[in-house]
């Protein structure tokens, strides 16, 4: 924007320039135009190196430095004074969203000294950069269940351990594939793990759950991953410990180990 106020004598000046807006999670390609104080493009084809420097806006700590690619070929008018900055996802993955400052510097080939390229016509030596993450949704934490309530099954004469009802967010399932994942943490576990699902909005002891998947383990130590598909309102996990030979019941944790917790991502 130009200051066109007739009461202001002298040449027109740039009142403000656009902030650089960088997106996290993707490659950003930004074209940077070099102009003189009269807003005329200046040739940069003979300049050896331009560097982009990004700083913490609060403490002015240097966060990264990247070279610019000079597009000015010395002949094409539309490319005069034009360079390109490429920032990759890995450059900003560890940075928080918010405002930063940046500067452009060049190397004087005559003595290899660093020279500032001013950011605006007021000879400000830095500009403002806004880092956002608008392209991808924010990752939500997995749901965790580490408390399992025991119940004696009078039909099988075995103890079963149930997690609570875990909401499966069916409103966010955009297709029938609806891939969902369980991470099962176990310590020398012997027995079965069963995943069940329901479409009920208010599941209770009367509502019947249907079995989605069952897996058997023999002294499993570590993390196992169980993927399943389908749209459910709630899921729950139950595990049935194995029976030690010679025992009449499966209530012997020194034999079957433990199922420590599960993480669920819908």
Mean pLDDT across the stretch 148-165?
93
Same domain, 68 and 103: yes
φ, ψ for residue 33 (rounded to 5)? Answer: -105, 125
pLDDT band at 107 (very low <50, low <70, confident <90, very high): confident
Separation CA 115–CA 135 (nearest Å): 35
Q: Which residues pair with 197 in a beta bridge?
A: 210, 235
Residues 81 and 183 in one domain: no
HEC letters along 177-213: CCEEEEEEEEEEEEEEEEEEEECCCCCCCCCCCEEEE
Our separate counts of H helices and E strands in the chain read 2, 17
Determine the pLDDT at residue 3. 39
Is residue 69 situated within a structural domain?
A: yes
pLDDT 10s digits, 50-91? 899 999 988 999 999 999 999 999 889 999 989 999 999 999
87: domain CATH number is 2.60.40.10
Reported as a pLDDT band with limits 50, 70 and 90, residue 253 is: very high
Tokens representing residue 81 in the block: 């004074």
Cα 161 from Cα 223, distance rounded (Å)? 18
Looking at residues 216-237, what average pLDDT do you find?
Answer: 94
Task: Give the count of domains, the chain.
Answer: 2
Q: Do 149 and 254 reside in the same domain of the chain?
A: yes
- Residue 11 belongs to a domain: no
Domain assignment present for 152? yes
- Hey, is 15 helix, strand or coil? coil
Q: What is the pLDDT of residue 17?
A: 67
More confident residue, 263 or 49: 263
This prediction has a pTM of: 0.57
Distance, in Å, from the CA atom of 139 to the CA atom of 262, rounded to the nearest integer, reads 18
Q: Band of the pLDDT at 123, cuts 50, 70, 90?
A: low
Tokens linked to 60: 């002015």
* 183 and 84 inside one domain: no
Residue 47 clears pLDDT 80, i.e. is over it:
no
Mapped onto helix, strand or coil, the DSSP state of residue 172 is helix
CATH, residue 150: 2.60.120
Answer yes or no: do 82 and 104 share one domain.
Answer: yes
Q: Judge whether 232 lies within some domain.
A: yes
In terms of domains, do 48 and 82 share one?
yes
Among 111, 132, 153, the domain-final residue is 132
| Whether residue 260 sits in one domain with residue 176 | yes
Query: What is the arithmetic mean of pLDDT over 23-32?
Result: 91
Question: In a 3-state reduction of DSSP, which class is residue 107?
Answer: strand
State whether 156 and 191 are in the same domain. Answer: yes
Same domain, 148 and 126: no
Clarify whether residues 152 and 188 are in a common domain. yes
Least Cα distance to 242 among 266, 216, 207 occurs for 216
CB 24 within 8 A of CB 133: yes
Whether residues 187 and 98 fall in one domain:
no
Tokens of 45: 């084809």
Q: Is the pLDDT of residue 237 over 70?
A: yes
Tokens 């459910």 correspond to: 232
Domain that holds residue 229: 143-265
Q: Give 1-25 pLDDT, tens digit per residue.
A: 333 344 444 444 454 467 889 998 8
Please give the share of the chain, as a percent, with pLDDT higher than 90: 53
Radius of gyration of the chain (CA): 31
Report CA-CA distances (Å) from 237 to 71, 210, 226: 59, 11, 11
**What pLDDT sits at residue 1?**
36
> Using CA atoms, how far apart are residues 172 and 204, in angstroms rounded to an integer?
23
């Amino acid at each position: 924007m130009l200051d066109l106020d007739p009461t202001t004598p002298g040449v027109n000046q740039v009142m403000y320039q656009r902030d650089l807006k960088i997106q996290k999670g993707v490659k950003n390609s930004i074209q940077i135009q070099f102009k003189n104080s009269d807003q005329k493009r200046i040739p940069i084809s003979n300049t050896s190196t331009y560097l982009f420097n990004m700083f913490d806006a609060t403490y002015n700590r240097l966060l990264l430095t990247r070279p610019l690619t000079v597009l000015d070929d010395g002949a094409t008018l539309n490319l005069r004074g034009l360079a390109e900055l490429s920032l990759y996802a890995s450059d900003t993955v560890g940075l928080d969203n918010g405002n930063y400052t940046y500067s452009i510097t060049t190397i004087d080939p005559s003595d290899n000294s660093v020279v500032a390229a001013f950011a605006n016509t007021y000879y400000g030596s830095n500009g403002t950069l806004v880092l956002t993450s608008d392209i991808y949704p924010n990752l939500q934490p997995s749901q965790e269940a580490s408390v399992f309530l025991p119940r004696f099954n009078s039909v099988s004469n075995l103890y079963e351990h149930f997690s609570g009802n875990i909401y499966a967010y069916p409103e966010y399932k955009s297709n029938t594939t609806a891939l969902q994942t369980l991470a099962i943490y176990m310590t020398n576990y012997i027995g079965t793990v069963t995943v069940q699902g329901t479409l009920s909005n208010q599941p209770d002891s009367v509502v019947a759950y249907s079995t989605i998947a069952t897996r058997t383990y023999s002294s499993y130590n570590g993390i196992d991953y169980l993927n399943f598909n389908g749209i459910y309102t709630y899921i729950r996990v139950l595990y049935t410990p194995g029976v030690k030979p010679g025992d009449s019941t499966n209530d012997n944790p020194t034999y079957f180990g433990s199922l420590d917790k599960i993480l669920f991502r819908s």
